[in-house]
Amino acid sequence: MKNSAISQYLPHYIENFKIFSQWKKHESKHYVFFYLPESLAEKEITEIVKTQEAGFKRILDFLKVKAPKQKIKYYLYPNRKIKKELMGDDWYAQAIYHNFTVHLLYTKKIKPLEAHEDTHLLSLPWGLAIGFFQEGLAEYLTGHNWHGQPHEILVKKSLKKNILPDFKIMFSHKNWADLDDKNVLAYYCYAGSMVKFMLEKFGRNKFKKFYQNLNREYSQIKNIRIFKDVYKMTPVEMQRRWMSQIN
């Protein structure tokens, strides 16, 4: 599947970064990195390259897909203000499908590197699943949340606070997109933990079949039907098994 064949909702996206003249560039085997002179990213570029190249291999080994012909372009921003001015959004990181690009904040406190955003790009041959499972796969292949903690730590706290939606609700892409921003880290940990359970308990091949058949345009009921066909159980039963392991 070609990247251009997959549309992406980008309400704030702009391309001022393309005409920005101050970028420095560093190229590795599978990446082209852009960063500002004397920034933290410039100082740590060797470690950044090492981290991303290791994650790249890990993702391809899991997905069992060929390396793309084009390199992934990384734009590393030193603060939220510059990131918003150049690409339109001040969030931690975004993967842009149509031009195989990642835009990422890189500061002393915020370094969302490793496999997450690259998984969004490298998994495109599998198709574009609904948000909960797309983000869950990216979190699983990263192996921890964006603060470096195991997903289960926050999941347990979130279950005690009763702030996680029922698993069956997550079979609608809209329901995932409409979750409140206040608990976004908890939701990502939830997705990562659930996908990890599904993969390690029932296998990669079953998850791949399920993932490839999901569709963002389908209703919650239709996506649940796909789940039942593959896993031979209801989302309620899967959630019960997952929670039993978590507890």
Collect all residues with Cβ–Cβ distance below 8 Å to 31 and sequence separation of at least 6: 49, 52, 53, 56, 71, 72, 73, 74
Phi/psi of residue 42, nearest 5 degrees: -65, -40
Q: Which of 107, 126, 145 is the last residue before a domain boundary?
A: 126
Number of domains in the chain: 2
3-state secondary structure of 24: strand
Q: Give residue for tokens 């939220």.
A: 80
Considering the domain architecture, whether residues 43 and 20 belong to the same structural domain is answered as yes
Torsion, CA 217, CA 219, CA 225, CA 227, rounded to 10: 60
Considering the domain architecture, whether residues 88 and 184 belong to the same structural domain is answered as no
Region 96-123 average pLDDT: 96
Region 150-170 average pLDDT: 97
Collect all residues with Cβ–Cβ distance below 8 Å to 78 and sequence separation of at least 6: 36, 39, 40, 41, 106, 107
Checking if the pLDDT of 4 tops 70, the result is no
Q: Which CATH number does the domain housing residue 118 bear?
A: 3.40.30.160
Considering the domain architecture, whether residues 169 and 239 belong to the same structural domain is answered as yes
Considering the domain architecture, whether residues 191 and 104 belong to the same structural domain is answered as no
- pLDDT tens digits along 36-53: 999 999 999 999 999 999
Considering the domain architecture, whether residues 149 and 83 belong to the same structural domain is answered as no
Per DSSP bridges, beta strands 93-96 and 101-105 are: antiparallel
Considering the domain architecture, whether residues 135 and 108 belong to the same structural domain is answered as no
Whose CA is closest to 242, among 157, 166, 135, 149?
A: 166
Considering the domain architecture, whether residues 118 and 142 belong to the same structural domain is answered as no
Helix (H) or strand (E) holding 63: helix 45-63
Q: Which of 126, 161, 184 is the last residue before a domain boundary?
A: 126
Range of the domain at 162: 131-246
Considering the domain architecture, whether residues 98 and 138 belong to the same structural domain is answered as no
Residue type, 66: K
Considering the domain architecture, whether residues 44 and 98 belong to the same structural domain is answered as yes
Instruction: Spell out where the chain has E strands.
Output: 24-27, 31-35, 72-77, 93-96, 101-105
Q: Is 65 exposed, middle or buried (0-12, 13-18, 19+ CB in 10 A)?
A: middle
Structure tokens at 6: 């997959």
pLDDT of residue 227: 98
Q: Which of 92, 126, 160 is the last residue before a domain boundary?
A: 126
Residue 64 CA to residue 123 CA, distance in Å, equals 10
Region 54-72 average pLDDT: 97
Is the pTM above the cut of 0.85? yes
Considering the domain architecture, whether residues 121 and 160 belong to the same structural domain is answered as no
